[in-house]
Every structure is written in C-alpha cells, then in structure tokens.
Amino acid sequence: MQYPGNRPSLLEAFIPLIILIILLTFNVVIWRDQTLDGSNQIALIISAMVAAIIDLKLGVKWPAIRQGMVNTIGKSMSSILILLLIGSLSGTWLISGVVPALIYYGLDMIHPKIFLFAAVVISGLVALATGSSWSTIATIGVALLGIGAAMGISKPLIAGAIISGAYFGDKMSPLSDTTNLAPAMAGTDIFTHIRYMSHTTTVSMGLTLIIFFIIGLNYDFGSTPTSVAQVKQAIANTFTINLWLFLVPTILIILIIKKMPPIPALMIGAVLGGIAAIIFQPHIIMQVTGIENNYFKASYMGVMQAMYGDISIITGDPTVDELFSTSGMRGMLLTVWLILSAMMFGGTMQAGGLLQRITEEIAKFARNTWSLVASTAATCIFVNITASDQYLAIVVPGQMYSDTYKKMGYKAEVLSRTLEDSGTVTSVLVPWNTGGATQSRVLGVPTVQYLPYSFFNYLSPITTVLFAVFNIDIRRQDPQEIEPVIENDPQ
C-alpha cells in the first residue's frame, strides 16, 4: 500500500483516535446530552490537529493535509445542503398544518399497541419507494414521532423504530445512492446485489419487527400525559385540518420516486409547505408574525421565518405545544458545525495514511470466510466512526477488500452485501457521523438515546457476520475463476 509520506506505525495511527475517545468521554461525563452544543465539535478539531501534527512528522506537506480536509468537507456538502433544506421543510410543513394533519389522522388510523410495528413498516415502505432514509425521516418520520409522542410512547423508542424502517427501505431500494455504490465498489450489478442482500436483510428486519411488536404489546400506556382525544381537539382548535394538505407530501414523494435529486425536491417541498400555509393557515401566520393588518407582509415574514428560524405554535395544551416547535435552518447549524469538524478529522486521518494504516491492520485478520466478512464489517464500522461518512464507509473497505474476495474465491455480491449491511446502516449510530448528526437533529432525539432501539441497524452487521460464521448462503466462484493469492507487500 502506498502512503503519502512515511509509513506510520500503528501507535501513531491510533493516537488521534485515542485522544478523540478520551475527549468525547469527558464531554459525555461533563455535558451529558448537551455535547453537540460545541464540546464534541472542539474534540474533533483538537483530534484533527493532533492527526495533522503526526502527518507533518511523517513527511506529508501542509498543502496536502489542507487539501485532504477540503476534499472530505467537499464530499459532505451535499449532506449539509440537504440538512439545511430539511430544516426549512420542517418549518413550512408545521405552519401549513401538514405535520399536524398527519398526526391528527394518524392517531385514528394506528392503534397504540401496534404503533411501533406500524412505524417500522410505514417508514420502510416510504424509504423503499423514495430510496432515501433522510427524506423519509424528515417527512413521514417527523409525523410518526408526533403521533407516537401523543400516545405517550418514549421518543427514543419511536425514533429507533422510524430509523430502523427508513434504513431498511433505503438499503433495499434500487433508487438509493448507497445501494448503487456498494455493488459498484464490489464489482457486481445492483439487482444481483439487492436479491442477495435480501437474504440477510429479511432476517434482520424480521427480528426487528418481532421485537417492536412485543414491546408495543407490553408497553405501559398508563402514564400517557394527555389522551388522544385531547391531542386531536387541540390540533383541530389550532389548525385548519383537511385532506388537501396531503397534496404537499404526496407531491414530494412523487418527485423523489421520479428520481428528482433530493436538494431541488426538498426545496420544492419547503416552498409548497409555505404556499399551503398562506392558503389554509392565515391565523397561524398572523400568530407567528404578530401582524394582522397586512396579510401580504405577514405571509412573507411567516414563511421566511419558518424556513430560517424558530417557530412555536401555541395550542393551549402544553403537552401538544412540545410537538409543534421547530428551528428551521438555524436549528441545523450546530449539526453543520459538527459535520464540518468531523470531516476535518477524517480528512487529516486520510491525508497521512493513518486511517489506511489501521484498516490495513484489520485486514490481516481475514483468513477464512467468517474472518474475512467480520473484518470487512469491522472496517466499515471503523470508517463510519473515524471518517464520519457512510459513503467512505463503503468506498474505503470496498477498495481494500475487493481483490481479497476475488483471490479467496468469493463472488462480488458477498462483498457488496457486507459493505451495505455494515456501512450504510451503522452511520446513523455514530453521533458525529453525517447520518447520526442529521437524524438526531431532525428528530430531536440524541443519537445515544435512540441507538439502543435502532435494532435493525445493529442487527444487520451481526446477521451478515453470523451468515459467514455458519457458512450460510456464501457464494463462491467456479475454481477456474479464482486468482492465486498473492501476499501484499506491507511497504
């Protein structure tokens, strides 16, 4: 393996990561659930500085280190723009009554005992149709969170169900970018990849559905702070609720299914929400702006404020009021700061070959079927933690292990399945990863709180490794197709 400078020792490669873990641990002890307000960002920046110093020691020039940071930040810009647009969309969908309408009708359609089960299924179907876990969570997911909270269900538990379903649909959809990326890295086609991946995914999702079904049947709803009837009444007294409001999410879902890129689709969704607010909720706009004698001015100010800033709708019921507040784009800025800090750390780790050195060491454990698959899964998770990006968690291990899978006689879909079972779904479990940072902000639930309930996301890598341990459904090439194993020169 070629390195930008001198080959780092394993200790040198691990030093920035060790410092990061120590600082993050201190942050959790001191700030608890307020770590995303700045302390984690600083921890990542300090660790990036340490990595840069080691890079310089290894002979890497500062322009190359700086370019490494710029490159990784550039790769995250699409995620940052999507995140900001999600903030705008959540604001206009609130003042338009779209989210309240989804909650209002959803309370009648879903029984509390099966709500968690239904949340997984609904999120999964929408993500399967759209190919986007992020769009699903930002739209249907936010509504489901409100419905479940009104029923008295714990928000972290609801978030775990929504995330489980959304990431299932994302990884199984041919419209998903990661579902296309994984087979491209492994050297197979997308439909072979999806069909083969369905074997492990069906097991993981089946277990997830069973777990949420059992939790729902045994959940104690006796402590519900307010009855469903009270919630519905508070919504009906505050918003104009009608079926026309469902045109907004329907149009957005159709646009995404038609393969419109997420950035323009979300922008259109946010604008449609603003138009719906002007048409159906003039009293909400006047409440938000405090302007009653100039509706044109109030409409402009109300929609703009919903897109960029804080909005709180007063219903008269304090419990319901908690469901109807948002911070627009402004509320996403701490998460943007976190993503930029994480990309700085990932960029400096890559610039000097520190990340490659660690993953190279992990790859040495790949001696047979289960150790190869386990090493690949571990590398995906490791890259999600260190590089903070789900795409890199597919690309880096895909490039590392592609030849090894071929030389050891395994078909490309074995690698592609492992990449997606371990890379795509675990990104949302890391607080500073683009996935974890975004979903925690969108749902308003810290990553460490929903992580224990995101059953599908950590059952997926476990299942794919267990399939390899017991040699279940492992496809091999014909003997004449296998290339001889050649040991890599560590230098």
Got the DSSP string for 68-124? HHHHHHHHHHHHHHHHHHHHHHHHHHHHTTHHHHHHHHHHHHS-GGGHHHHHHHHHH
Range with the poorest average pLDDT among 26-40, 348-362, 475-489: 475-489
17 is a domain residue: no
Give the tens place of pLDDT for each residue, 170-226. 899 887 878 888 888 888 888 888 899 999 999 999 999 999 999 999 988 665 545
52 is a domain residue: no
In this prediction, residue 238 carries a pLDDT of: 93
338 is a domain residue: no
String of DSSP letters for 157-169 = HHHHHHHHHHHHH
16 is a domain residue: no
pLDDT at 488 over 50: no
40 is a domain residue: no
* Nearest alpha-carbon partner for 85 in 41, 135, 132: 135
Give the tens place of pLDDT for each residue, 62-100. 999 999 999 888 877 887 888 888 889 889 999 999 989
How many domains are there within the chain?
1
pTM for the whole structure: 0.79
Q: Kindly give the residue spans of alpha helices, DSSP state H, lying in 153-246.
A: 155-172, 177-186, 190-218, 228-238
Domain assignment of residue 405, given as a range:
75-328+349-491
134 is a domain residue: yes
Calculate the average pLDDT of the chain: 87
- What is the C-alpha separation between 280 and 4, in angstroms, rounded? 59
Give the tens place of pLDDT for each residue, 1-46. 578 889 999 999 999 989 988 888 888 788 876 777 888 889 889 9
Token code pair at residue 455: 């059953």
39 is a domain residue: no
The number of beta carbons lying within 10 Å of the beta carbon of residue 476 is 13
59 is a domain residue: no
Q: 371 burial class (0-12, 13-18, 19+ CB within 10 angstroms)?
A: middle
Range with the poorest average pLDDT among 111-115, 336-340, 379-383: 336-340
